[in-house]
């Protein structure tokens, strides 16, 4: 639903102590309150209907100008991981007459100070409150998401008495808009990282083909040529030797093909089923990592599931085990598969758990680092399959990765032997 963008001018603020009739004063106050409510409601609608978050922030800055009777408003947006300024959204030109408006970083620092001191914007902003500016922190609990600031030019007259309240109400709406914006930023980084990872994978496949498969096929070809020459010359022993070598290199080429293909899709899944493939994966990783104990428990009852579901579970375990090998320094690892039928058809769930006794980590910090894609791709895969990923880890206490996905049965075609 499109929302009306411009707001009518608020009625002038009633002047306390003026000679105006008391009734008119009360009426003006009531009108201003009503207008403020309408405006804040409209801003909230903008926030809900905005697709980018930025648009909504612009409406909020605009609304702030109207309600505080200023011509310049700025919103500083903090970076999603809390490290500094992401961007600044402004309305109007910064007033020349006033002391220069803050930079985005200064606005964020001031918002942080206000939250830490737990006082009202104007009081905490400066030891001596400044008549020309007003700042409200945009926050989620004690975290600074941003700051909303309005600045008056010299000679623009004082702020209305309820300006602080209006600004704080708008800042609450801004918190929702910034949350949206952060979500979009996160999704974009994730997509960029996924595309980069896909490119890396393609390159790896190309190298595999070039270094492995192509070499074997070329070697086989060379030995077949040598066989033909030897055979034509009647050197039968040599011909036989060349033929054996050519066949051996072709056999290696077939093995290599399977290896390259299994990097894309696990052949083990087709051959051994989910439980078998996981057990094999665990024992391969154990050999590679030298874990003392690696236990697999199968609570799936030998069931087969939808290909996408099995692949998801397999890839999650693959990444989780490779993380244990690379990062955990663990001696014991467990992989468990559980099937629960659920009360109604369609409620059946398949749950896989990878537990290690290693050094653990503070995962919320690790999760915002897009250079490390493993945890993200795990969560993405599971989410795409309609499930949920749970990660429990603490420094020194090991790690538990648990993925729960709908236990969709294998389709008829796949179920047939």
Ligand X SMILES: Nc1ncnc2c1ncn2[C@@H]1O[C@H](COP(=O)(O)OP(=O)(O)O)[C@@H](O)[C@H]1O
Q: Which residues are near Mg ion by CB under 5 A? A: 323, 374
d(CA 256, CA 250): 10
Query: How many residues of this chain interact with ligand X, rule: CB under 6 A?
Result: 16
Q: Which of 120, 115, 118 is nearest to 163 (CA)?
A: 120
Run of H or E residues at 243: helix 236-264
Check residue 71 for interaction with ligand X (CB under 6 A): no
What order do you get walking across the sheet with 293-299 strand by strand? 293-299, 332-340, 349-356, 399-406, 388-393
Backbone angles phi, psi at 255, to 5 degrees: -60, -45
Query: Cβ closer to ligand X: 87 or 368?
Result: 368
Find all residues with CB under 8 Å of 4, minimum gap 6, and list them: 42
Query: Cβ closer to Mg ion: 181 or 378?
Result: 378
Query: Cβ closer to ligand X: 199 or 414?
Result: 199
d(CA 306, CA 309): 5
Query: Cβ closer to ligand X: 339 or 370?
Result: 370
| Partner touching 356 among Mg ion, ligand X, none, CB below 5 to 8 Å by kind | ligand X
Binding to ligand X by CB under 6 A, coded x per residue (else -) over 381-410, reads: ------------------x-----------
DSSP 56-100: HHHHHHHHHHHHHT-SEEEEEEE-TTSSSEEEEEEESPPPSSSSP
Binding to ligand X by CB under 6 A, coded x per residue (else -) over 20-49, reads: ------------------------------
Q: Which of residues 297-326 bind ligand X (CB under 6 A)?
A: 323-324, 326
Cβ–Cβ < 8 Å for 330, 398: yes
To the nearest whole angstrom, how small is the minimum distance from the Cβ of residue 327 to ligand X? Answer: 4
Q: Which of residues 328-367 bind ligand X (CB under 6 A)?
A: 328, 356, 358-361, 366
To the nearest whole angstrom, how small is the minimum distance from the Cβ of residue 369 to Mg ion? Answer: 11
The contact set with ligand X (CB under 6 A) reads 323-324, 326-328, 356, 358-361, 366, 372-375, 399
């Amino acid at each position: 639903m499109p929302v009306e963008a411009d707001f009518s001018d608020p009625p002038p603020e009633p002047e306390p102590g003026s000679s105006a009739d008391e009734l008119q004063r009360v009426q003006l106050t009531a009108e201003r309150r009503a207008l403020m409510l309408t405006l804040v409601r409209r801003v909230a609608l903008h926030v809900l209907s905005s697709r980018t978050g930025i648009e909504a922030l612009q409406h909020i800055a605009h609304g702030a100008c109207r309600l505080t009777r200023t011509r310049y408003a700025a919103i500083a947006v903090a970076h999603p991981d809390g490290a500094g300024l992401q961007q600044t959204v402004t309305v109007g030109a910064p007033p020349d007459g006033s002391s220069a408006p803050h930079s985005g970083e200064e606005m964020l620092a001031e918002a942080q100070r206000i939250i830490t001191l737990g006082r009202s914007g104007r009081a905490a902003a400066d030891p001596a409150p400044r008549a020309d500016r007003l700042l409200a922190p945009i926050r989620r609990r004690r975290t600074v998401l941003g700051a909303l600031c309005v600045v008056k030019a010299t000679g623009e007259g004082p702020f209305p008495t309820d300006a602080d309240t209006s600004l704080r109400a708008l800042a609450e709406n801004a918190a929702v808009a910034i949350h949206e914006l952060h979500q979009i930023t996160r999704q974009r980084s994730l997509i960029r990282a996924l595309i980069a990872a896909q490119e890396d994978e393609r390159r790896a496949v190309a190298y595999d083909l070039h270094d492995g498969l192509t070499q074997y096929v070329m070697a086989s070809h060379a030995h077949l040529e040598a066989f033909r020459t030897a055979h034509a010359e009647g050197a039968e022993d040599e011909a036989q030797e060349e033929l054996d070598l050519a066949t051996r290199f072709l056999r290696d080429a077939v093995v290599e093909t399977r290896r390259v293909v299994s990097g894309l899709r696990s052949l083990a899944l087709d051959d051994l089923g989910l439980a078998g493939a996981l057990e094999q994966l665990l024992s391969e990783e154990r050999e590679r990592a030298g874990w003392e104990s690696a236990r697999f428990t199968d609570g799936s009852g030998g069931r087969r599931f939808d290909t996408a579901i099995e692949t998801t579970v397999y890839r999650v375990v693959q990444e989780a085990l490779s993380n244990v090998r690379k990062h955990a320094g663990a001696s014991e690892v467990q992989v468990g598969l559980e099937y629960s039928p659920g009360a109604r058809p369609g409620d059946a769930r398949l749950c896989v758990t990878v537990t290690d006794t290693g050094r653990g980590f503070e995962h919320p910090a690790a999760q915002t680092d897009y250079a490390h894609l493993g945890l993200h791709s795990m969560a993405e895969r599971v989410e795409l399959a309609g499930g949920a990923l749970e990660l429990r880890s603490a420094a020194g206490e090991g790690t538990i990765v648990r993925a729960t996905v709908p236990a969709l049965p294998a389709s008829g075609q796949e179920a047939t032997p």
